[in-house]
């Protein structure tokens, strides 16, 4: 199964011109627990080709939301940037097969 089918919604946005922020909206507490156990900096680092120490993961227990903030692969609107609003970076996580690709912490 892909992560997309397991959670309510995944959204990616710019957090200013230099950072990207990806929010995973889990369906309930149980779902949140499962997902948070399977989201690791190692996995994010592999998917987004970004060093582990530049990744921040914020579990928001009360809201069943997991926020992941990473540096933009390219500064917003710079000549190498492909996605001005950072709109599609969440799709990489959405399409992730949950059993084999995500590495346990």
Partner 1 sequence: MNTKVLIPTGALGITYCKKALNNGLKEKPDIIVVDGGSTDSGPAYLGKGKSKYSRSSTKSEWRTLMVAREKLKIPLLIGSAGTCGTDKSVDWFFEITKELARELNQKIKITLLKCSQSKKDINKAFLSKNLFPLSNAPKISSKKIINCTNIVGLAGVEQITEAINTNADIIICGRSTDASLIASLPIMNGVDKAVAWHAGKIGECGAFCTTNPKSGVILISFKKNGFFIKPVSNNTKVTPYTVSAHMVYENSNPFTLIEPGGCLDVKKAIYKKQKDGSVYVTGANWVQDTNYKIKLEGTHVVGYQSISMVLIRDESYVKNINKWSKQVKNKVKEIIENSLSLKKKSYEVQFRFIGKNATLGSLERKNLEPNEIGVLVIVTAKTQYECEEISKILNPLLLHHSIYKNRELPTFSFPLSPPSFKIGKKYEFCLNHVMSLQNPMDIFKLEKYSI
Footprint of partner 1 on this chain (CB under 8 A)?
A: 13-19, 21, 23, 47-49, 56, 58, 60, 62-63, 65, 67, 69, 71-73, 75-80, 82-85, 88-89, 91-92, 95
Of 75 and 105, nearer to partner 1 (C-beta) is 75
Q: Minimal CA–CA distance to 1: which of 79, 97, 101?
A: 97
CB proximity list for 15: less than 8 A, separation 6 or greater: 21, 69
CB proximity list for 49: less than 8 A, separation 6 or greater: 73
Nearest distance, CB of residue 52 and partner 1, angstroms: 16
Nearest distance, CB of residue 39 and partner 1, angstroms: 15
Q: First CA to last CA across the chain, in angstroms?
A: 20
Nearest distance, CB of residue 105 and partner 1, angstroms: 20
């Amino acid at each position: 199964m892909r992560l997309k089918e397991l959670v309510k919604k995944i959204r990616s946005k710019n957090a200013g011109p230099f950072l990207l922020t990806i929010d995973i909206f889990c369906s309930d507490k149980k779902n949140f627990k499962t997902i948070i156990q399977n989201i690791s900096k190692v996995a994010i680092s592999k998917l987004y080709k970004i060093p582990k120490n530049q990744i921040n993961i914020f579990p928001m227990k009360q809201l069943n939301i997991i926020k992941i903030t990473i540096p933009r692969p390219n500064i917003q609107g710079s000549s190498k940037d492909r996605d001005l609003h950072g709109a599609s970076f969440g799709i990489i996580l959405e399409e992730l097969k949950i059993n084999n690709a995500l590495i346990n912490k």
